[in-house]
Amino acid sequence: DQQVKQNSPSLSVQEGRISILNCDYTNSMFDYFLWYKKYPAEGPTFLISISSIKDKNEDGRFTVFLNKSAKHLSLHIVPSQPGDSAVYFCAASVRSGGYQKVTFGTGTKLQVIP
Partner 1 sequence: NAGVTQTPKFQVLKTGQSMTLQCAQDMNHEYMSWYRQDPGMGLRLIHYSVGAGITDQGEVPNGYNVSRSTTEDFPLRLLSAAPSQTSVYFCASSYWGQGSEKLFFGSGTQLSVL
List of residues contacting partner 1 (CB under 8 A): 4, 6, 9, 32, 34, 36, 41-46, 49, 89, 93, 97-100, 102-107
The smaller minimum CB distance to partner 1, of residues 15 and 94, is found at 94
Residue 2 Cβ vs partner 1, minimum distance, rounded to whole Å: 8
Which CB sits closer to partner 1, 9 or 16?
A: 9
* Smallest separation (angstroms) from partner 1 to the CB of 6: 8
Nearer to partner 1, 5 or 79 (CB): 5
Nearer to partner 1 among residue 83 and residue 97 (C-beta): 97
Residue 27, amino acid = N
Start-to-end C-alpha separation, the chain: 38
Residues 6+ apart with CB under 8 A from 90: 4, 6, 21, 23, 33, 34, 35, 73, 75, 104, 105, 108
Give the nearest distance from C-beta 105 to partner 1 in angstroms.
Answer: 5
Transcribe 14-71 into DSSP letters: ETTS-EEEEEEE--TT--EEEEEEE-TTS--EEEEEEETT-SEEEETTEEEEEETTTT
Nearest approach, Cβ of residue 52 and partner 1 (Å): 11
